[in-house]
Structure 1
Amino acid sequence: MRVPSRSPGPRPGPAVTSAAPGRRLPSSAGRRPDPTAPDLAAYRTAVAELLVEVGALADAPSTTARQVLLDQRLREPAIAAVLDATPQGLIGARETLLLEMARPRPAARGSAPDLTALVGVYLLSRIDLMWWRDTPTFLTDHQVDSSIDLVDLEWLRRRGLLAFRYQEQPATLAGRGLRAVRRRLLPHTTPRTAGLRFRRTRREVVALLNDIGREFALATPPACPPLWVTSLARSAEHQHRLRRLGYAAMLPSGHCLGWAADLELAWFRRFGARDALADLLLARQEAGEINVVDEGQYWHVCLAPAARRRFRRAYEAEMGV
């Protein structure tokens, strides 16, 4: 699993810059850092180092050794500072992670096909919860479908107001059959994803995805498809549904707060655009705009609170609100 982080120090190759003309990402250089806020760069570096050690203990007989390792490493200041700032706190986050590692899954599906990936996805996604710890969780499907804090993408799509694509989950058996036939006949025209269960998200996330979509379009050849979104807001009820199917759907999750989305990455390798999208997302993470979690086929992104006001204004300007 590739850990999406930018540790301090020089790296080979050219620096990543935005392809959008006239667009400047927020820079931390002119901003006073909050002395009480955890150091996210140090956290991501510490997580990357921990994953190397977890990978070395991935075999089943190493269960006790893994637990001892986690007990030691999660208490290190760089990691503990973030976990302690989440709603669960350090102890709760540790216990949840150990339970996730011990939980039998019927199939290695989705974002965490192995133990190392699961630990990485869990720990990096805790940044979302630290940022939005005061946001209520969408507990049920009905809450997602009826919340006034979320907007329906279909209304925006029909009016040409989206710079990205998505597809919904088929609602009927006939629809699923038609989707299967289409994939068999045209296997590479769309990503191999189930589609959106909920086509709703926060207004600020719409503006963020539109901004990423426009920058991605400028950075890729004309024949490359637009940015593809595979998941948006979800309910805790739906997370439990996914877990029963064998997916590593974390609880709590930034999706259940409405501030997260998943973006297809692997499919764009066919068009030579996968790395361009990855670099674009990592540059935004480095600028403090989003949190990024590499989940393999797709990457999880969560809007940072510091960027909320800017993207709310962008949404209102784009939609003429």
Structure 2
Amino acid sequence: MRVPSRSSGQQPGTSVASTAPARRVPRGVAPRPAPPTPDLDAYRAAVTDLLVEVGALADPDSAGARQVLLDERLREPAIAAVLDATAQGLVGARETLLLEMARYQPSPRNSAGDLAALVRIYLLSRIDVMWWRDATTFMTDAQVHASNELVDLEWLRRRDLLRFRYQEQPATVVGRGVRAVRRRLLPDARPRTAGLKFRRARREVIGLLNDIGREFARSAPPGTPPLWVTSLVRSAEHQHRLRRLGYAAMVPSGHCLGYAVDVEMSWFQRFGARDVLAGLLLARQQAGEINVVDEGQAWHVCLAPAARARFRRAYEAEMGV
């Protein structure tokens, strides 16, 4: 079966062939070597160590000490290698993190329960933006809706081609009222999530989620519902909208590049399946397929560039493209 994108318009990330002549390396001059790939295991370990120190300086009077700490620790080779490989660079990432910490306010909507959690979410999500630093951001809602790089999930769901579930955000007052009544009558029937603003995703991300969904279905206890996705692609416009509402929506973000998703975790505790899903995701991270960030109720998952082609082929084979 052939699966169309169900959309038209300019494709973010589409490149235009240059008419300029290619630069030649002079004879006798060796080409410049590519920078070494950062050690992500070392980076994650260094972030974990940093969080212990940030937690010890969490009180309001320690703002100056926290800044000194970050100035020192972010320059350590294991951390600096990743931050310097992002589009912002080490200095830009440091300044953004300090600003996020200065603006931090605890909130029920904020997945960062404290300053240490904020630092963890920010630093671990920098792996996403390092991986996809050359990808084009979906700046507006209109670009998300118009992109040929994204597929309509509802079209696939109706044909039983998805191995995961989701719900959309209600678009009307009536829809929000129906959602509220359903939650009162059946409070645990679905995860407590606002739902998807955009029911669209990249083909390779769908391939990844279907693969995780199948593995989760095989591994989880009997009676466990399918994998549940709470967020997919977002526009930068929507990311800033979420920030104004008090959510820990980092910028730049892998969501705005179309390669990051959020997967429900807490809800699966009642089925005895949360730890199963956590182990599955962490194993895939160790295998280099994804980056994972524990954000409490949901975990942030970003597809690795090294796995992109494989999951694109899996999507095409599954959909008969």
Aligned to 2:100: 100
**Aligned counterparts of 2:106 and 2:267: Cα–Cα separation in 1:** 25
**Aligned counterparts of 1:236 and 1:66: Cα–Cα separation in 2:** 29
Change (3 A) 1:37 1:104: closer
Q: Determine what percentage of the aligned residue pairs are the same residue.
A: 78
TM-superposed CA distance for 1:107, in Å, is 2.8
Matched, 1:38 2:38: yes
Aligned to 1:8: none
Q: Do the aligned residues in 2 keep the contact of 1:106 with 1:245 (CA within 8 Å)? A: no
Aligned to 2:119: 119
TM-superposed CA distance for 1:201, in Å, is 1.0
TM-superposed CA distance for 1:267, in Å, is 0.3
Aligned to 1:224: 224
Matched, 1:241 2:241: yes
Q: Do the aligned residues in 1 keep the contact of 2:202 with 2:259 (CA within 8 Å)? A: yes
Aligned to 2:152: 152
Q: Which amino acid is the alignment partner of residue 85 of structure 2?
A: A
Secondary structure at the counterpart of residue 234 of structure 1: coil
Change (3 A) 1:317 1:208: same
Aligned residue runs from structure 1 range 269-308, under 5 A: 269-308=269-308
Cα deviation, 1:91-127, whole Å, max 9, x if unaligned, reads 0000000000111547342321211111000000000
Aligned to 2:72: 72
Q: Do the aligned residues in 1 keep the contact of 2:137 with 2:236 (CA within 8 Å)? A: yes
Aligned to 2:86: 86
Matched, 1:167 2:167: yes
**Aligned counterparts of 2:110 and 2:139: Cα–Cα separation in 1:** 22
Q: Which amino acid is the alignment partner of residue 268 of structure 1?
A: F
Q: Which amino acid is the alignment partner of residue 293 of structure 1?
A: V
C-alpha RMSD of matched pairs (Å): 1.1
Could you state the TM-score of these two structures normalised by the residue count of structure 2? 0.88
Aligned to 1:252: 252
Aligned to 2:20: none
Q: Do the aligned residues in 2 keep the contact of 1:207 with 1:314 (CA within 8 Å)? A: yes
Aligned to 1:191: 191
Secondary structure at the counterpart of residue 55 of structure 1: helix
Could you state the TM-score of these two structures normalised by the residue count of structure 1? 0.88
**Aligned counterparts of 1:105 and 1:62: Cα–Cα separation in 2:** 16
Q: Do the aligned residues in 1 keep the contact of 2:106 with 2:113 (CA within 8 Å)? A: no
Change (3 A) 1:152 1:119: same
**Aligned counterparts of 1:196 and 1:111: Cα–Cα separation in 2:** 17
**Aligned counterparts of 1:186 and 1:249: Cα–Cα separation in 2:** 29
Aligned to 1:268: 268
Change (3 A) 1:104 1:47: closer
Q: Do the aligned residues in 2 keep the contact of 1:108 with 1:114 (CA within 8 Å)? A: no
**Aligned counterparts of 2:222 and 2:248: Cα–Cα separation in 1:** 35
Aligned to 2:49: 49
**Aligned counterparts of 1:279 and 1:107: Cα–Cα separation in 2:** 28
Q: Number of matched residues? A: 288
Cα deviation, 1:164-184, whole Å, max 9, x if unaligned, reads 000000000111111011101
Aligned to 1:62: 62
**Aligned counterparts of 2:217 and 2:77: Cα–Cα separation in 1:** 40
**Aligned counterparts of 1:299 and 1:227: Cα–Cα separation in 2:** 12
Q: Do the aligned residues in 1 keep the contact of 2:106 with 2:112 (CA within 8 Å)? A: no
**Aligned counterparts of 1:207 and 1:275: Cα–Cα separation in 2:** 23
Q: Do the aligned residues in 2 keep the contact of 1:282 with 1:292 (CA within 8 Å)? A: yes
**Aligned counterparts of 2:136 and 2:273: Cα–Cα separation in 1:** 36
Q: Do the aligned residues in 1 keep the contact of 2:50 with 2:73 (CA within 8 Å)? A: yes
Cα deviation, 1:47-81, whole Å, max 9, x if unaligned, reads 00101110111111110010000000000000000
Aligned to 1:15: none
Cα deviation, 1:154-205, whole Å, max 9, x if unaligned, reads 0100000000000000000111111011101100000000000011111000
Q: Do the aligned residues in 1 keep the contact of 2:106 with 2:114 (CA within 8 Å)? A: no
Unaligned runs of 5+ in 1: 1-33
Deviation >6 Å, runs of 4+: none
Q: Do the aligned residues in 2 keep the contact of 1:234 with 1:258 (CA within 8 Å)? A: yes
**Aligned counterparts of 1:63 and 1:257: Cα–Cα separation in 2:** 33
Bigger drift between 109-118 and 176-185 goes to: 109-118
Matched, 1:211 2:211: yes
